[in-house]
Amino acid sequence: MLTPDQRAELIRLALAMRQRAYCPYSRYQVGAALLAEDGTLYGGCNVENASYGGTICAERTALVKAVSEGARRFRALVVATANGGSPCGICRQALYEFAPDLQVILVDAAGAVRAEHRLRDLLPDGFGAADLE
103-107, strands of its sheet edge to edge? 41-45, 31-36, 74-80, 103-107, 113-118
- Residue 59 falls in the annotated catalytic set: yes
Rounded to an integer, what distance in angstroms lies between the CA atom of residue 46 and that of residue 44? 7
Residue 42: which of 74, 66, 12 has the closest Cα? 66
Q: Which of 9, 48, 59, 69 is catalytic?
A: 59
Rounded to an integer, what distance in angstroms lies between the CA atom of residue 51 and that of residue 54? 6
Q: Which residues are catalytic?
A: 59
